Amino acid sequence: MARIILVLFFLSGATSLVFETIFTRLLTYTFGNTAHAVSTVLAAFLGGLALGAYIFGRIVDRWAPSLWIYGILEVLVALYGLLVPSLFAGLTTVYVDLYHRFDLSLTTLTAVRFCLAGVVVLIPTVLMGGTLPALARYVVRRKSALANEITLLYTVNIIGAASGTLISTYLFLPHLGVQRTIWLACGVNGLIFLAVAAISSRQKAEVETPDEAPTPPAEELPVASYPQVRAVLLIAAILTGALALIYEVIWTHVLAFLVGNTVYAFGMMLFTFLCGLAIGARVVATRLSKSSLGVPALIISQIALGLAVLLTVPLWNRVPDLFQNGIPGALEHVTLGVGFLILLRVIVLVVRLRRRMRNSKSDAGGLTKTTVEFAVWILALFALLASDKAWIWTQESTPFVIAELLRFFSAFYLIIIPAVLIGLGFPLLLNLYARLGGGVGRRVGGIYAANTLGSIGGAVAAGFFLVPLFGSLPTLRGAAVINIAIGVLFAATLAGLSVSRRWLIAAVSTTTAVLLCLVIPSWDPVRLTRGSYVYFNEGWPIDELLYFKEDTQGGLTSVIRSGPNRILLSNGKFQGNNTGEVPEQIRMALIPLIFTRQFDRALVIGLGTGNTLRAMSHFPFGRIDVAELAPHIVEAAREWFEDVNDGVFDRDPRVNLQITDGRNLLLLSRDPYDLISIEVTSIWIAGEADLYNKEFYELCLRQLKPGGILQQWVQIHHMPTRDLLVILNTAAQVFPHLAFFYGTEQGILIASDQPLETDFNLIRSFDNDPNIRKELETLNIGSLFSLLGDLVLHEDTFRKAVAELPKVSDLPADFVSTDFLPFLEYQTPKGNSLPYNTVPVNLNFLRQFMPPSLPPIRNLPSENDLNLIYGYIATERKDFLAAREFLGRVGNPLSARAMAELERIEEMEKEVTPP
């Protein structure tokens, strides 16, 4: 096969995965960043591929097998890609309109999402699905080695897909954004068409033979003699496709709480999985292409896959240990990982050298090439182990690169052997099916469509049913047992073995699987929930695991006891506790209420322990909507944190709790809000940065009443000043009035379409409310006005701070993070591996712009009241000298309040003064 054809199909695979990544990203903006939405998009994408393979498999057998068909499919994909941004904008409008017009239920809404996703991705995916049968028919016309050529095509396409995943995750989308990445992918597809045109123009006219498959080898019989073989192979393609996607879903799900759940981590996991498929396909193309090896290899690969999955179960418990010694420790593990790969390659070369030395006369060129490569790898291994690695730390990007390499090797060594065995399955089936009678395009398209339909079933079953109902480990073990059963089925139906041998294989395989399930240790819940991967430390010290449940929406939810603390974790990441974090969450709830003017409707995105919601419920809102993505977060908060949330989401009729994506709830909401409060765990988690993009702020502005308040948690720790300013600048490009408050290692963004002012009478009434009074006592403050002491940016000073963006970075003054340029999605994960503490750096920067005066206070009765307010603020800022001065000016009837604040100051000074 001409190398140029392989290169072109490699590029086809790369652009297909780039488009799949972009389609998923854009559709989750509309449908919500939920596992169900992602599974829906994946099912629609795979459905298009299956339909395309089926349709074009028949078309190319009826038409002349010209290379032009492949080229036309690629250029049509490119032309469609140019329309993607406009199509997805229209999709959002239709989606919202259908929801409002028909008042859709959750089940109906899921079906609508699938149909709408199918509408926009059907055309390009059908075209993509047609490329393999189209190119296979063309190649087979020109070559006699039918199965080997088709398998080689599939191999390079998978390698391209893996490369497309890696390069789009780490290069194109972070630096070019969605729009320019689409243009680039469309350009590559266009170049493929031009290359096809050039190749076709140089080829001489050929007389087409009748539409027949190449004559099968003598030992094979036409399919008409074996109708059951066709059925078995098609069923096998469906089952292996389903199991492959079940494994992928489970591995991605579990690795998210073991190695990370950033956008990079998900890309790395998919890349590793595709690498395994590519290696398996290459083995089939180069070592198992003979027809006599197909059936035995298929039987062995399926049984070995099941056994490999079961045998690797205990290794998952060791993953958290790899992350517990910081970035320097990670470098040691990465060095070992690279060294082991080099060693494997050296072993392969030794075997190859010995073989070629025996045939040195007939293969002198191959011997020389292998010898040179062997020497190069030996030198590389020596350099890796012997070199001084001090120079590595001189590079700014080093910690992030090391962190990502550790995540890669953790995933690679866990799943590469099962993934390679999965990669053997479809190419072997493709080889066997391609040798049956009938048109080549129809055979390739049919088996490819069957395998892809199975993949759809596996993705939907794992995401919607298996993991939620049974959990990851039982589902993984069940899939492994099914793989072993499939291998036994192949032995019984395809291998032509005697009855006794069939029973022997079945008995040995079943007994081994049962023994492994019983003997091999299960996953250790304590290890899995440690969260070592987050900041590369030992993770949470766990005295007792109180709650441990998983779902595909929120991943792993757990509650641990560590000393006197009960801590809520999501994928090992802190969500809240019943001790030290309680005051900070109360503070977050109270700060926006200083500026809130009306109290009809409020929206809380992110439930956590429910403490913020409980504090907010003390205020006179008529309705409080709550959006929480993970159902088990709600269950854990209800069971283990009632002392924190007071059961507010069950006892308060005003609270409307929904298990949904917050952005999607806001998109579908009909009625505007007076307050939108957002408390996500961390910006760097995949999908969370969508709530900090310009389009989301515009959505919030549309859904707020005039004078309504947006309040949003902003990470200060592990956050470079540049990224912090991008967040603030993005909000400032949408909202005309803004403020920023500082808490403990976190900030609170306040935004509105009208000036941020407080109403004295309203605040005074809240201060006198018994329930709110208790919250103030928990914070050890005298008034809601005290919280103004946490104000660091307000209106003009906010604008002055964000104007510094070009000075602290190479970004322009108007730079923002958007859905089409998701800067924060790809930059904030790098903060977790920074070698310095960003909190003091960010605070020192922000405090340069502290406002010289207070926000305007309406209905302020007198100078007496103003002095009391200033006293509260100075106390909150720990400026006790200024506080005493202001409070000393307060006379009757407020002197009792001033005296109470002075007594509080004395108590605070005793706490900080050593005895």
- pLDDT 10s digits, 729-780: 999 999 999 999 998 778 999 999 999 999 999 999 999 999 999 999 999 9
What pLDDT sits at residue 225?
43
Determine contact, residues 70/135, Cβ cutoff 8 Å.
yes
Q: What letter represents residue 562's amino acid?
A: S
Query: Counting every residue, how long is the chain?
Result: 915
Determine contact, residues 726/823, Cβ cutoff 8 Å.
yes
Distance from C-alpha of 634 to C-alpha of 638, rounded to nearest angstrom: 6
Burial of residue 99 (number of CB atoms within 10 Å: 0-12, 13-18, 19+): middle
For the CA atoms of 386, 390, 395, 397, what is the dihedral angle to 10 degrees? 70
What pLDDT sits at residue 53?
87
Distance from C-alpha of 569 to C-alpha of 467, rounded to nearest angstrom: 19
SS3 at position 452: helix
Distance from C-alpha of 136 to C-alpha of 61, rounded to nearest angstrom: 11
Residue 496 CB neighbours (<10 A): 9
Question: ∠ CA(90), CA(91), CA(92), 5° rounding?
Answer: 90
Determine contact, residues 412/337, Cβ cutoff 8 Å.
yes
pLDDT band at 215, cuts 50/70/90? very low
Distance from C-alpha of 301 to C-alpha of 233, rounded to nearest angstrom: 15
What pLDDT sits at residue 245?
93
Residue 871: is its pLDDT beyond 50? yes
Which residue in 667, 545, 677, 542 sits closest to 601, CA to CA? 677
What tens digit of pLDDT does each residue of 19-36 get? 999 998 998 888 888 777
pLDDT: is 384 or 549 the higher one?
A: 549
Alpha helices in 143-226 (DSSP H): 146-167, 173-202
Q: Is the pTM of this model over 0.85?
A: yes
What tens digit of pLDDT does each residue of 480-495 get? 999 998 988 888 887 7
Q: Which helix (H) or strand (E) holds 674?
A: strand 673-678
% the chain with pLDDT above 90:
61
b/e code 300-329 from CB counts within 10 Å (16+ = b)? bbbbbbbbbbbebbeebbebbebbebebeb
DSSP letters for 846-862? HGGG--SSPPPEET---
Residue 806: is its pLDDT beyond 80? yes
Residue 213: is its pLDDT beyond 50? no
- What mean pLDDT value characterizes the chain? 88
Distance from C-alpha of 318 to C-alpha of 335, rounded to nearest angstrom: 18
Average of pLDDT values for 701-708? 97
For the CA atoms of 310, 311, 317, 319, what is the dihedral angle to 10 degrees? -110
DSSP letters for 789-817? GGEEEETHHHHHHHTTHHHHSSS-TT---
Residue 103: is its pLDDT beyond 70? yes
Distance from C-alpha of 216 to C-alpha of 203, rounded to nearest angstrom: 27
What pLDDT sits at residue 391?
57
Alpha helices in 32-63 (DSSP H): 35-62
Distance from C-alpha of 58 to C-alpha of 67, rounded to nearest angstrom: 16
Q: Which helix (H) or strand (E) holds 557?
A: strand 555-562
Residue 882 CB neighbours (<10 A): 14
* Strand 565-570, strand 555-562: pairing: antiparallel
What tens digit of pLDDT does each residue of 613-650 get? 999 999 999 999 999 999 999 999 999 999 999 999 89
854's tokens: 């207070």
What pLDDT sits at residue 64?
58
Distance from C-alpha of 221 to C-alpha of 225, rounded to nearest angstrom: 7
φ, ψ dihedrals at 188, nearest 5°: -65, -45
Distance from C-alpha of 422 to C-alpha of 162, rounded to nearest angstrom: 15
What pLDDT sits at residue 293?
84
Work out whether the CA dihedral 252, 256, 262, 265 comes out positive or negative. negative
Determine contact, residues 783/872, Cβ cutoff 8 Å.
yes
Residue 507 CB neighbours (<10 A): 11
Residue 217: is its pLDDT beyond 50? no
Most confident option among 2-6, 19-23, 230-234, 507-511: 19-23
φ, ψ dihedrals at 224, nearest 5°: -60, -30
Which residue in 508, 524, 43 sits closest to 306, CA to CA? 508
What tens digit of pLDDT does each residue of 659-697 get? 999 999 999 998 999 999 998 878 999 999 999 999 999
Whether a cis peptide bond, with omega within 30° of 0, leads into 893 is yes
312 Cβ contact partners less than 8 Å away, ≥ 6 residues apart: 414, 415, 417, 418
% the chain with pLDDT above 70:
91
What tens digit of pLDDT does each residue of 407-428 get? 999 999 999 999 999 999 999 9
364's tokens: 């002198």
Determine contact, residues 542/562, Cβ cutoff 8 Å.
yes
Least confident of 364-373, 601-610, 792-801, 870-879: 364-373
Average of pLDDT values for 505-534? 88
What pLDDT sits at residue 11?
95
Distance from C-alpha of 902 to C-alpha of 880, rounded to nearest angstrom: 9
Residue 364: is its pLDDT beyond 80? no
What tens digit of pLDDT does each residue of 162-194 get? 999 999 999 999 999 999 999 999 999 999 999
Average of pLDDT values for 880-898? 93
* Strand 623-628, strand 655-659: pairing: parallel
Distance from C-alpha of 761 to C-alpha of 592, rounded to nearest angstrom: 16
pLDDT: is 139 or 557 the higher one?
A: 557
Give CA separation, 373 vs 71, 282, 338, 901, in Å: 36, 20, 17, 78
Task: Give Rg (Cα) of the chain.
Answer: 31
Determine contact, residues 365/423, Cβ cutoff 8 Å.
no
pLDDT band at 368, cuts 50/70/90? low
2's tokens: 């001409």
What tens digit of pLDDT does each residue of 46-75 get? 888 888 888 888 888 777 556 888 999 999
Residue 568's DSSP bridge partners are 559, 576
Give CA separation, 163 vs 149, 159, 186, 190, 256, in Å: 21, 6, 17, 19, 21
* Strand 601-605, strand 673-678: pairing: parallel
pLDDT band at 497, cuts 50/70/90? confident
Which residue in 339, 344, 422, 315 sits closest to 387, CA to CA? 339
For residue 315, the 8-state DSSP code is G
Average of pLDDT values for 607-611? 94
What is the SS3 assignment for 284-304? HHHHCCCHHHHHHHHHHHHHH
Distance from C-alpha of 88 to C-alpha of 117, rounded to nearest angstrom: 10
pLDDT band at 229, cuts 50/70/90? confident
Residue 624's DSSP bridge partners are 602, 655
What tens digit of pLDDT does each residue of 328-354 get? 899 889 888 888 888 888 887 777 777
Residue 835: is its pLDDT beyond 90? no
Question: ∠ CA(853), CA(842), CA(531), 5° rounding?
Answer: 130
